[in-house]
Structure 1
């Protein structure tokens, strides 16, 4: 799936008025990031198994919120991914 296709499909599930979208998505992103952190904390410090399906779900929720913040700001999701890879390539050049 392409990033922009994901963003468009995810946007169909957005159920908040325009004035509340940014705040709701920012709070949701923080909350879902906390869920990912809880899984990592349990794995790292409590010796729990890493529940892969739950991790996939929580990371998907994080992805949804990021995509909708970008949608609100009229930023194609593909632009975010491309910009991030370009930054990483500059920060960590390949050793050929």
Structure 2
């Protein structure tokens, strides 16, 4: 599935009024917290990593991010493309600790 197609399909379930941006921002924070909690329990509490739940929570974060882009009239693909361009500029040969320490941006 293409990013812009996902964004369009996801927006069918967007609801709200002028507060929609705030709702989506808070949604990113809360769903990210749920994702982090799964990873914390796996890393520090000895839980099995539940990949079904991991996918579910990542999907929830993706939905909120796509709807922030929708609200701002930004094609979701633009977000993905610009992020890859930034990473390519920052780490042209892939990640390295040295380049990370010397980062200017």
Taking structure 1 as the reference length, the TM-score comes to 0.95
Runs of 4+ in 1 over 4 A off after TM superposition: none
**C-alpha deviation, 1:20, in angstroms:** 1.2
The answer for the alignment partner of 1:67 in structure 2 is 66
Name stretches of at least 5 consecutive residues in structure 2 with no aligned partner: 95-105
SS in 2 for 1:50: coil
**1:8-87 correspondence runs (5 A):** 8-17=8-17, 19-87=18-86
Gaps of 5+ in 1: none
* CA RMSD in angstroms, aligned pairs only: 0.9
CA distance in 2, matches of 1:70, 1:40: 26
What CA distance in whole angstroms lies between the structure 2 residues aligned with 1:21 and 1:2?
24
Cα distance in 2, alignment partners of residues 36 and 76 from structure 1 = 25
Higher relative contact order (CA 8 A, sep 6+): 1
Larger radius of gyration: 2
The two structures have a TM-score, normalised by structure 2, of 0.87
